[in-house]
Amino acid sequence: MTPTSDKTPKQLLHLVLGGELIDINGTEFRDLEKVEIVGVYPSYAAAYAAWRAKAQQTVDNALMRYFIVHLHRLLDPETDTTRRSG
């Protein structure tokens, strides 16, 4: 495994996935076998671009939702900048 150099930005993986929800106000998918894994991206900006493209393709279906999952927060909780210590 090659360590990240000082000049290479830290890889912050993001997963984009989506599918039809049971309820418009929820996050539970109607059919897990039909959940689409759009892809894994090295930055939030790249994931957001993919999320936006998929969301725009399904704008006519109110129950269709796509999400960005911050994989880097699951893999390395220290990268979660929203947490405060102390």
Question: Structural domain of residue 19, as residue ranges?
Answer: 14-77
Instruction: Say if residues 16 and 47 touch (Cβ distance below 8 Å).
Output: yes
Amino acid identity of 64?
Answer: M
Which pLDDT tens digit goes with each residue over 3-49? 555 676 778 999 999 999 999 999 999 999 999 999 999 999 999 99
More confident: 82 or 37: 37
Does the residue 86 lie in any domain?
A: no
Helices of type H across 1-86: 44-57, 71-75
Instruction: Say if residues 21 and 27 touch (Cβ distance below 8 Å).
Output: yes
Does the residue 53 lie in any domain?
A: yes
Distance CA 19, CA 14 (A): 17
Q: What's the structural domain count of the chain? A: 1
Residue 72 belongs to domain with CATH number: 3.30.70.2400
**What is the predicted pLDDT for the residue at 4?**
55
Residue range 54-64: average pLDDT?
95
**What is the predicted pLDDT for the residue at 6?**
62
**Which pTM does this prediction carry?**
0.76
